Structure 1
Amino acid sequence: MPRNFGQEFLDQILKFEDKTCLIWRETEITFRQFHEKIELWRTILEYQKKQSSNPLRIALFCTNSPDILALIVAGQLVGVTIIPLNPSYKKYEIEKYFLESRANFVIVSDDVDLEKFEDMELQTVSEVVSSAVDANQNEEHSISTSGVLVFFSSGTTGPPKLYEYTQRNLCAQIDQINEIRKDSRFFSPSQSDVCYGVLPFFHAGGVITVLSMIYNGCSLLINERWNEEEFLTNCQNYKVSVLFLVPPVLNFLANHPLVPKFDLSSLKTIYVGSAPSKAEDFEKVSKRLPALENLIQIYGTTECGVFLCSTGKGITLGRTIGLPLPLIKIKINKGGELIIKSPTGVEEDFMETGDLGAIHRKTNELAIVGRKKEMIKVRGWQVNPNEIEDVIRKVNGVTDCAVYQSAIGGKLIAKVIGKTDIKLDIMIAVQGK
């Protein structure tokens, strides 16, 4: 019999009744109240579905909030396609992803800059909620198995690609949660935990993680925008016991001078994912937070499912958590041969090397033939250097360019070949996008 993720989710959270489910802007929302919010959005979406002559595909340009979570779950109940997208996108990105996702209905947060959407029909969250008076809230609900949740991948092998989470994908995540709870090798958050994550809900890892924790009966603190002091204050005041982080935030906990000024003794478990973390950050965090019991690396991809595997309980360092091996040193000797020094200190001669570069067998010239990664993370956001290069190359006077990330500070740098007086034109072109 076909399963419905939304219905299984609702059946589960009703068990927790008046326990705190969500904490948002200092307001606590119980599981019962969150259930009611889902039912409200269910009514709204059923009404909108009937009004649409085509299958309803809703693009969300929204910041993190209880309404967005409720809307996403309701979409699975009603059988519509929900497409969470980054509200911080530039105008050209909004147009690009709107077209690629084939959306025909747009909802934005009330606090989003509407000028970027000037050529697009849309409604704010509050406008859609107020339209609920037009819907028949007494009408009997039906359950669909056709609901789809659409994400764009992080783009590590090129520009972000659209991927659809069907009911089968989402129910598989529930099955995985249930199996993890049975396995003593893995930590599983429980009803006694207060969880806090930094990822946005337009990120697959963000929303699936959040829904998983709610399914487990945890109380969830909703993060909106990253702020160092606010993050630490929330961890202290709400006695957060479980954190879901990305590597830059783990690095912040490992090194920032603000961290020791806060009481983080309630923190027992940290999950970190979306990219590899530095081994030294694991070590520093475990020393800085002596009450920490678990520091867990999560592995997953948008295409295959957010949770593929994790490192299990405990604080694990080094190679066993999938961290990169020590850096390989590369040099060219006087004879033009490429020398690769391995981590063990053994040197071997190669005439070719990986996807970053190659040695021409006849001329012994080193050629750069690719990138290490097609996406660069800047302050936790995915940036595609190819897209920036395309914009710069269109500037009059530019012959060619290459965009890369500085080893100091992580800033993006563009090396440009062309006329010497076009720097201002390039800056204007990039800022305009």
Structure 2
Amino acid sequence: MADVQTNPSIPVDSNSGFCHKTKTFQSMRPLVPLPPLSQPLSIADFTLSELLLRSSAFKSTTTVLVESSTGVHVSYSLFLSQIHSLTTSLRSSTSLSKGQVAFILTPPSLHVPVLYFALLALGVTISPSNPLGSDSEISYQVRLCNPVIAFATSSTSHKLPSLPLGTILLDSPEFLSMINGSRNGTDRFQQVQVSQSDSAAILYSSGTTGRVKGVLLTHRNLIALLAKFRQLLPETDQNQTEMLQPHPVCLFTLPLFHIFGFIMLVRAVARGETLVLMSRFDLEGMLSAVEKYRVTYIPISPSVVVALAKSDLVNKYDLSSLQLLGSSGAPLGKEVAERFAAKFPNVTIVQGYGLTESGAGGAEMMTPEESRRHGSVGRLSENMEAKIVDPVTGEALPPGHKGELWLRGPTVMNGYVGDDKATAETLDSERWLKTGDLCYFDSEGFLYIVDRLKELIKYKAYQVPPAELEHLLVSHPEIADAAVIPYPDEEAGQIPMAFVVRNPGSNIREAQVIGFIAKQVAPYKKVRRVSFINSIPKSPAGKILRRELLTRALSLGSSRL
């Protein structure tokens, strides 16, 4: 797998990064050097190396993990000792070996990060899944990744089939003895030679379009993503230091089985930060944890940003420690960002863009100045290339034109496990990843996500992006959340239908919702049908599950428009 290297002989626009010769966008951020591909190196070794953990803020007594509900914490010294103990125990008590797959089905806990690092250090491919998944969903994922062993809890193990090396329960005395067997934190765990091209993780895409797929990421993919945090230039480091003082404390509302949560976990450990884990998300619990643990930043989904901007609960808690929100998973509307900024003037929102298939690499904001570009997800990430491709003609387009975003770079997946057809449809022969997202770059290289190509509503001869209407809907003071779907219509083909969650105490009606949107959009974009709902179904990453809403809408039967 070739890594992207910018060719200085090819003229690139210094503002947008667009090359008129190749019709590609180049990252305008400094090139991040990567270890030689021939060097044996796992993402665990890379993350836990002395260089990554050496910082002015880091000490072995620094807390790495805190369980928000109990206050139980783990120091870096104990964390490293537990990884050492678990790797040693797994090698001595099982025949688990490099290249095999471990399926992980467990709620978030202090043991999960230890398990991830131990397995990755052994060269075992981890395949974590949503513990709330149905039996059929879990069975399908197990068939995809073909694991030899599973790690679960007493509450989830019943969903798993019999595997060659069995299932180890994280809440069992056996596992506790495995992680606590050695207390010599200075010893290095027994080394396994892992190639960077070896498989590291099989993570599951959200399945919002088509059946869920197993995304295969290598150690090289993850190292390339993490390397930019190791090689921070003084200028960038200063910008990040300005955004986060004192010692960073990160509240984890993200699922650890998802790419966003997994990468943010590895990143935080690499930087010697403190992570506060929530077993399940609820808004008031999050606010309480911010106050109790003096949280400085939270990686978060846009729906939570909306809730923070609108909820009066925030007034009950001391949130003065909070400085930064990292929003990803879906575009954050300009109106919401501005409303949040007015309510929390001392909290910066930085947006980013990535897919499971891109190893979470894509675009991000890096400075306070970039964070003020509301509506954008930032500039193209280090070592990445992009194209904006006309979905009809296949022509690569310049800045200011909308088309499908294609990405290429060292974080892009190897492919889908057990699905060569889907891999060929998503990765072309030159390893361009077709994201399926309708996007554009502006003249300064900022990326804007319009919507999913497959989710565009085809109203007569027009295309209507649901996200645009959703951003307008949640800007209404009486609407807590909203989703828009394509509803079948004999005359128009499809019409925009809105599912709306009212704010507490609101009695907003369908006609008011329709009129609110009609005043702000072209006639073909108008919402023509409204249904009120208690909550919007979403994936763990915060993406709207439109298929569930469409099924619900069709079950409601015909109604007046």
Task: Give 2:305's match in structure 1, choosing from 242, 245, 250.
Answer: 250
Q: Indicate the residue corresponding to 2:341 in structure 1.
A: 286
**2: distance between equivalents of 1:201 and 1:330?**
33
Task: Give 1:23's match in structure 2, choosing from 66, 84, 98.
Answer: 66
Count of paired positions: 370
Q: Letter of the aligned partner of 2:110 in structure 1?
A: P
Give the conservation status (yes or no) of the 8 Å contact 2:205–2:214. Answer: yes
Please give the TM-score of this superposition, normalised by the length of structure 2.
Answer: 0.58
Q: Letter of the aligned partner of 1:300 in structure 2?
A: G
**1: distance between equivalents of 2:110 and 2:262?**
11
Question: Unaligned 5+ residue runs, structure 1?
Answer: 344-355, 387-402, 406-411, 419-433
**2: distance between equivalents of 1:331 and 1:167?**
41
- Alpha-carbon shift at residue 365 of structure 1 (Å): 5.0
Moved over 6 A (4+): 135-140, 329-332, 339-343, 356-359
**1: distance between equivalents of 2:137 and 2:450?**
36
**1: distance between equivalents of 2:541 and 2:199?**
30
**CA 1:367–1:239 in 2, change beyond 3 Å: closer, same or farther?**
same
- Alpha-carbon shift at residue 357 of structure 1 (Å): 10
Q: Does 2:505 align with 1:367?
A: no
**2: distance between equivalents of 1:376 and 1:229?**
20
**2: distance between equivalents of 1:170 and 1:379?**
21
Deviations 1:285-329 (A, max 9, x none): 21211222x210011111112132212322425344455669xx9
Q: How does 1:244-323 map to 2 (within 5 A)?
A: 244-292=299-347, 294-314=348-368, 315-321=371-377, 322=447
- Alpha-carbon shift at residue 282 of structure 1 (Å): 1.0
Q: Does 2:72 align with 1:47?
A: no
Give the conservation status (yes or no) of the 8 Å contact 1:330–1:338. Answer: no
Q: How does 1:220-231 map to 2 (within 5 A)?
A: 220-231=275-286
Question: Unaligned 5+ residue runs, structure 2?
Answer: 1-38, 378-446, 469-485, 498-535
**CA 1:316–1:159 in 2, change beyond 3 Å: closer, same or farther?**
farther
Give the conservation status (yes or no) of the 8 Å contact 2:41–2:193. Answer: no
Q: Letter of the aligned partner of 1:143 in structure 2?
A: V
Task: Give 2:115's match in structure 1, choosing from 56, 61, 71.
Answer: 71
- Alpha-carbon shift at residue 186 of structure 1 (Å): 5.3
**2: distance between equivalents of 1:385 and 1:368?**
14
**CA 1:96–1:183 in 2, change beyond 3 Å: closer, same or farther?**
farther
Q: Indicate the residue corresponding to 2:538 in structure 1.
A: 377
Task: Give 1:83's match in structure 2, choosing from 109, 127, 131.
Answer: 127
**1: distance between equivalents of 2:189 and 2:137?**
39
Q: Indicate the residue corresponding to 1:96 in structure 2.
A: 140
**CA 1:51–1:115 in 2, change beyond 3 Å: closer, same or farther?**
closer
- Alpha-carbon shift at residue 69 of structure 1 (Å): 0.7
SS at match of 1:286: helix
- Alpha-carbon shift at residue 32 of structure 1 (Å): 0.8
Please give the TM-score of this superposition, normalised by the length of structure 1.
Answer: 0.73
Farther off after superposition, 221-230 or 376-385: 376-385
Give the conservation status (yes or no) of the 8 Å contact 2:103–2:147. Answer: yes
Deviations 1:181-237 (A, max 9, x none): 544385366771111121111001101111101211111111220122211011011
SS at match of 2:538: strand
- Alpha-carbon shift at residue 155 of structure 1 (Å): 3.0
- Alpha-carbon shift at residue 14 of structure 1 (Å): 5.6
- Alpha-carbon shift at residue 63 of structure 1 (Å): 1.3
**2: distance between equivalents of 1:84 and 1:257?**
36
**2: distance between equivalents of 1:80 and 1:32?**
24
Task: Give 1:154's match in structure 2, choosing from 202, 206, 216.
Answer: 206
Deviations 1:26-83 (A, max 9, x none): 012111111111112211332355267x953110001112211111111121111111
Larger RCO (alpha carbons 8 Å, 6+ apart): 2
**2: distance between equivalents of 1:89 and 1:7?**
31
Q: Does 2:2 align with 1:2?
A: no
Q: Indicate the residue corresponding to 2:8 in structure 1.
A: none
Deviations 1:163-195 (A, max 9, x none): 122111121122121244544385366771111
Q: Indicate the residue corresponding to 2:240 in structure 1.
A: 187
**2: distance between equivalents of 1:5 and 1:154?**
24
- Alpha-carbon shift at residue 118 of structure 1 (Å): 7.2
**2: distance between equivalents of 1:231 and 1:76?**
30
Give the conservation status (yes or no) of the 8 Å contact 1:191–1:217. Answer: no
Q: Indicate the residue corresponding to 2:549 in structure 1.
A: 404
The structure carrying a bigger helix percent of its residues is 1
**2: distance between equivalents of 1:341 and 1:132?**
55
Q: Indicate the residue corresponding to 1:60 in structure 2.
A: 104
SS at match of 2:207: coil
Give the conservation status (yes or no) of the 8 Å contact 1:278–1:323. Answer: no
Q: How does 1:147-226 map to 2 (within 5 A)?
A: 148-180=200-232, 182-184=234-236, 187=240, 192-226=247-281
Deviations 1:117-138 (A, max 9, x none): 47775231134515639x9999
SS at match of 2:360: strand
Give the conservation status (yes or no) of the 8 Å contact 1:299–1:307. Answer: yes
**1: distance between equivalents of 2:138 and 2:94?**
23
Q: Letter of the aligned partner of 1:151 in structure 2?
A: L
Task: Give 2:554's match in structure 1, choosing from 394, 415, 418.
Answer: 415
**1: distance between equivalents of 2:144 and 2:458?**
43
Give the conservation status (yes or no) of the 8 Å contact 1:190–1:216. Answer: no
Task: Give 2:190's match in structure 1, choosing from 116, 141, 147.
Answer: 141
**2: distance between equivalents of 1:97 and 1:330?**
31
SS at match of 1:37: helix
Give the conservation status (yes or no) of the 8 Å contact 1:75–1:147. Answer: no
SS at match of 1:39: helix
Identical counterparts, % of pairs: 22
Farther off after superposition, 96-105 or 114-123: 114-123
Deviations 1:79-111 (A, max 9, x none): 11111111001111111111111112111134x
Deviations 1:365-408 (A, max 9, x none): 54359x9xxx972685667666xxxxxxxxxxxxxxxx435xxx
